[in-house]
Amino acid sequence: AQSVTQPDIHITVSEGASLELRCNYSYGATPYLFWYVQSPGQGLQLLLKYFSGDTLVQGIKGFEAEFKRSQSSFNLRKPSVHWSDAAEYFCAVGARGGADGLTFGKGTHLIIQP
């Protein structure tokens, strides 16, 4: 069975500082991996995805993520955070991407300090 672990429940970062959110997955084959963001009272917005090719993927809002098969990781990064980045971030894995239901991690709550 597939699973996703996000080790950090909360992360606090100063505005303008760099950010890395961790995600580890368990899946038997090449996974389809996603990062979603959920702002308070909002639905889920897709930040980026990986399913093949270049292991460094670029997303929206200046985010990027790197797939590392040897570490079963798909960490999300941003070089300089903005106050508007404060939100809940979810890592997810799927067997066939949009064709299957996704398994989500528990999420990381990002707090931005002024």
Partner 1 sequence: SAVISQKPSRDICQRGTSLTIQCQVDSQVTMMFWYRQQPGQSLTLIATANQGSEATYESGFVIDKFPISRPNLTFSTLTVSNMSPEDSSIYLCSVGYSGGAYEQFFGPGTRLTVL
- Contact footprint for partner 1 (CB under 8 A): 32, 34, 36, 42-44, 46, 49, 51, 90, 92, 94, 96-107
Q: Find, among 23, 105, 36, 34, the residue nearest to 71 by Cα.
A: 23
The nearer residue to partner 1, 46 or 56, going by C-beta atoms, is 46
Give the other-Cβ count within 10 Å of 9's Cβ: 9
Minimum distance from residue 11 beta carbon to partner 1 (Å): 16
- Say whether 69 sits in a helix, a strand or coil: helix
Closer to partner 1 by CB, 79 or 100: give it: 100
**Is residue 93 a contact partner of residue 32, using CB atoms and an 8 Å limit?**
yes
CB of 47 to partner 1, least distance (A): 11
Between residues 101 and 114, which has the closer beta carbon with respect to partner 1? 101
Q: How far is the CB of 67 from partner 1 (least distance, A)?
A: 14
Rounded to an integer, what distance in angstroms lies between the CA atom of residue 110 and that of residue 114? 13
